[in-house]
């Protein structure tokens, strides 16, 4: 079923890894990182910084200080999206989604994300356990869309190629009362078949999948 869905959406899915768009997106992320405001990289680029597998077309960041909204308003054409509780900047084909403390609604409160972040290559990036939860929150909202497929690929990539502390992950699920994510994660892993997007052969994929499922059983 998932294979058929992937083939059906093949052209659209390829947009996420279009080299021209992802390189442009990366350049924009670097430019933003040089600006005089602080943010944490979440979303697809955070997954890439941890795994070095899939680049991203769009950029998702979380502000650490709501005061930086004023800086962005003066520097860029910042738009407020009250429906989705975020701010947005568009650079032609590249969208930057900006999540704000005490305003945006993510799986984990934006104001708490800074407590689970670290530095990678000069970027402040959310840690794998929290990124996994944020990715699951996005996947839950758009499960039956092409972006939902990208979310699932990022989720599997993250748990296969980083050292996720599943005890911390489960503790966070309990803390924020989103225990349902644990069952959903098991479902995503069990139903995922697209090993080609992970640069794995069938045997490697099977072994990694078994290893992760065994880890989850011990929680």
In the chain, what are the domains? 2-217 (3.30.460)
Query: 53-57, 167-171, 180-184: which has the minimum mean pLDDT?
Result: 53-57
Report strand pairing: 79-81 vs 86-91.
antiparallel
Query: Given phi > 0 = left and psi -120 to 50 = alpha, else beta, which region is 42?
Result: beta
Report pLDDT for 126. Answer: 98
Run of H or E including 54: none
3-state SS assignment for residue 1:
coil
If one counts every other C-beta atom within 10 angstroms of the C-beta of residue 25, the result is 23
CA 184 to mean position of chain CA atoms: 16
How confident is residue 5, by pLDDT bands cut at 50, 70 and 90?
A: very low
Better-predicted residue by pLDDT, 6 or 91: 91
Task: Compute the average pLDDT of residues 70-75.
Answer: 95
pLDDT per residue as tens digits for the range 76-101: 999 999 999 999 999 999 999 999 99
pLDDT of the residue at 7: 46
Q: Which residue has the higher pLDDT, 176 or 196?
A: 176
- On the question of pLDDT at 3 being above 60, the answer is no
pLDDT for residue 59: 97
Q: For residue 20, give both structure tokens.
A: 């021209």
pLDDT for the residue numbered 19: 84
- Residue 13 confidence class, pLDDT cut points 50, 70, 90: low
Residue 31 has pLDDT above 80, yes or no: yes
Q: Is the pLDDT of residue 117 over 80?
A: yes
184 and 156 Cβ atoms separated by less than 8 Å: no
Q: What was the pLDDT predicted at 18?
A: 75
For residues 126 and 148, which has the higher predicted lDDT (pLDDT)?
Answer: 126
């Amino acid at each position: 079923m998932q294979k058929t869905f992937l083939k059906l959406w093949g052209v659209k899915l390829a947009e996420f890894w279009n080299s021209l768009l992802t390189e442009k997106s990366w350049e924009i992320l670097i430019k933003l990182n040089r600006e005089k405001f602080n943010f944490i990289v979440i979303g697809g680029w955070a997954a890439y910084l941890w795994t070095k597998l899939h680049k991203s077309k769009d950029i998702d960041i979380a502000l650490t200080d709501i005061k930086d909204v004023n800086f962005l308003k003066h520097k860029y054409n910042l738009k407020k999206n009250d429906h989705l509780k975020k701010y947005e900047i568009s650079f032609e084909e590249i969208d930057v989604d900006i999540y704000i403390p005490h305003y945006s609604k993510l799986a984990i409160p934006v104001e708490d994300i800074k407590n689970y972040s670290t530095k990678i290559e000069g970027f402040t990036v959310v840690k794998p356990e929290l990124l996994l939860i944020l990715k699951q929150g996005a996947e839950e909202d758009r499960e039956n869309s092409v972006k939902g497929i990208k979310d699932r690929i990022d989720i599997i990539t993250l748990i296969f190629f980083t050292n996720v502390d599943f005890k911390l992950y489960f503790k966070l699920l309990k803390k924020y009362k989103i225990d349902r994510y644990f069952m959903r994660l098991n479902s995503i892993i069990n139903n995922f078949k697209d090993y080609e997007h992970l640069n794995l052969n069938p045997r490697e994929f099977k072994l990694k999948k078994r290893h992760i499922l065994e880890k989850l059983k011990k929680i």
